[in-house]
């Protein structure tokens, strides 16, 4: 009988003995990492071009409005109409960046790696959503705030439009929540970034075109009640009708009026329902992705 020859060498791997920061810290780190990634920070220079270009376009009306106020002493743009006016840019930003937050992890099947850490599935989805919501909010809130600061500095005749600014900021929160939830949910259904971008923009283009066409046709036949409901198909007008007009009494930014009375309640319920539906779809989608 020969002696056993196998030897286990101690090659000096050391255990981690520092502080374990735990689940919450991991989720926050994931959210911050995703938020930076949405704007291309920490990614290649080429990934920064599109987000920063779109941020620049979003800033344009604020800068032009400040210039008009300073030179002509005239108001150029109201706060609550900012998001509706720039809806195409917001939609392109949402479409181009929300697939980034979800597609690579799905495509390279790294979800089990995340879930092997203290992060749970809910934390993962929550962190990704929080990142996209924050990004959309910043995209809208920064130009609004710049515009407000500009208005305060220029000191136009008459009181500053503080309540209009606050209304638009409340609107920005709901815009960000609704758009980000729907965008990330749609994008999560395909691991391909290109198809994700196309799907999210298709959602925006379909809803906005269908709403405009039905509303215009109804107005032609003098059915103004139906046309006011048709505007709510467009998510941007939906939030405007629910929050900025419904809750805070701003002037509608759609080309026509919104449904009065019960319309506000329905619009609010629709916003909440869409967000709930998107989050549920996301969680179901990730349950399936995590089990593979």
Partner 1 sequence: MNGVIAAISYRALLGRRRIWLLILLPLVLLGLAILLRALGVASETTTITLMEKFALGTMLPLLGLIAGTGVIAPEIDDGTVVHLLAKPISRPAIARTKFLVAASMLALFAAVPTFVATYLLVDLESGIAYGFALGALAGGVAYAAVFMLLGVLTRHAVTIGIAYALLWEGLVGNFVPGARKFSIQQWAQTVADQVSTSPFLSADITIGFAATALVLVTVVTVVAAGRRLRSFSLTGDE
Euclidean distance between CA atoms 93 and 38, whole angstroms? 9
Confirm or reject binding of residue 225 to partner 1 (CB under 8 A).
no
Does position 48 interact with partner 1 (CB under 8 A)? The reply is no
Minimum CB separation from partner 1 for residue 197, in Å? 4
Query: Does the footprint of partner 1 cover residue 64 (CB under 8 A)?
Result: no
Among 102, 144, 181, 197, binds partner 1 (CB under 8 A): 197
Measured distance CA(235)–CA(99) in Å, rounded: 19
Figure out which of the listed residues 134, 168, 188, 199 binds partner 1, where binding follows CB under 8 A: 199
Q: Distance (Å, rounded) from C-alpha 119 to C-alpha 47?
A: 27
Residue 224 binding partner 1, by CB under 8 A: no
Applying CB under 8 A, does 195 fall inside the site for partner 1? yes
How far apart, in whole angstroms, are the C-alpha atoms of residue 112 and residue 219? 53
Choice from 32, 63, 169, 192 touching partner 1 (CB under 8 A):
192
Q: What is the CA radius of gyration of the chain?
A: 24
**215 vs 118, 120, 234, CA distance in Å?**
50, 44, 11
Q: Which stretch binds partner 1 (CB under 8 A): 69-77, 126-134, 203-211, 232-240?
A: 203-211
Verify binding: residue 110, partner 1, rule CB under 8 A: no
Asked if 188 and 102 touch (Cβ cutoff 8 Å), the reply is yes
Mark the segment that binds partner 1 (CB under 8 A) among 13-21, 87-95, 244-252, 256-264.
87-95
Among 41, 202, 251, 284, binds partner 1 (CB under 8 A): 202
Does 119 contact partner 1 by CB under 8 A? Answer: no
Q: In sequence order, what are the residues at sequence separation of 6 or more whose Cβ sits closer than 8 angstroms to the Cβ of residue 194?
A: none
User: Comparing C-alpha atoms, which of 234, 21, 286 is closest to residue 129?
Assistant: 286
Q: With CB under 8 A as the contact rule, which of the stretches 28-36, 110-118, 146-154, 214-222 interacts with partner 1?
A: 214-222
Closer residue to partner 1 in complex, CB, 176/233: 233
Select 210 or 269, whichever has its Cβ closest to partner 1: 210
Task: Choose the binding region for partner 1 from 10-18, 202-210, 240-248, 269-277 (rule: CB under 8 A).
Answer: 202-210
Minimum CB distance to partner 1, residue 2 (Å): 50
Site residues for partner 1, window 239-278 (CB under 8 A)? none
Report if residue 209 touches partner 1, rule: CB under 8 A. Answer: yes
Candidate list 31, 35, 83, 92; residue touching partner 1; CB under 8 A:
92
Residues forming contacts to partner 1 in the complex (CB under 8 A) are 43-44, 46-47, 50, 57, 88-89, 91-92, 95-96, 189-190, 192-195, 197-199, 201-202, 205-206, 209-210, 212-214, 216-217, 220-221
């Amino acid at each position: 009988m020969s002696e056993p020859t196998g030897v286990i060498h101690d090659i000096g791997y050391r255990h981690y003995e520092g502080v374990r920061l735990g689940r919450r810290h991991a989720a926050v780190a994931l959210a911050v990492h995703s938020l930076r990634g949405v704007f291309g920070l920490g990614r290649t220079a080429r990934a920064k071009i599109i987000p920063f270009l779109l941020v620049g376009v979003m800033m344009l009306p604020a800068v032009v409005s400040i210039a008009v106020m300073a030179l002509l002493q005239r108001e150029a743009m109201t706060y609550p109409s900012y998001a509706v006016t720039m809806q195409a840019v917001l939609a392109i930003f949402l479409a181009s960046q929300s697939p980034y937050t979800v597609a690579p992890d799905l495509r390279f099947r790294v979800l089990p790696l995340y879930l092997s850490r203290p992060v749970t599935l809910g934390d993962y989805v929550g962190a990704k959503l929080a990142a996209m919501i924050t990004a959309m909010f910043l995209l809208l809130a920064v130009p609004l705030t710049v515009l407000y600061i500009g208005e305060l500095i220029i000191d136009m005749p008459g009181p500053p439009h503080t309540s209009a600014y606050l209304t638009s900021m409340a609107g920005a929160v709901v815009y960000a929540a609704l758009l980000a939830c729907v965008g990330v949910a749609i994008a999560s259904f395909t691991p391909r970034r290109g198809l994700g971008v196309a799907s999210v923009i298709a959602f925006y283009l379909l809803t906005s075109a269908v709403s405009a066409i039905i509303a215009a046709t109804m107005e032609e036949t003098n059915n103004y009640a139906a046309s006011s409901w048709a505007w709510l198909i467009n998510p941007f007008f939906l939030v405007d009708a629910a929050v900025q007009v419904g809750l805070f009494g701003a002037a509608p930014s759609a080309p026509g009026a919104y449904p009065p009375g019960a319309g506000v309640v329905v619009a609010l319920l629709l916003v909440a329902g869409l967000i709930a539906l998107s989050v549920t779809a996301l969680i179901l989608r990730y349950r399936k992705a995590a089990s593979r």
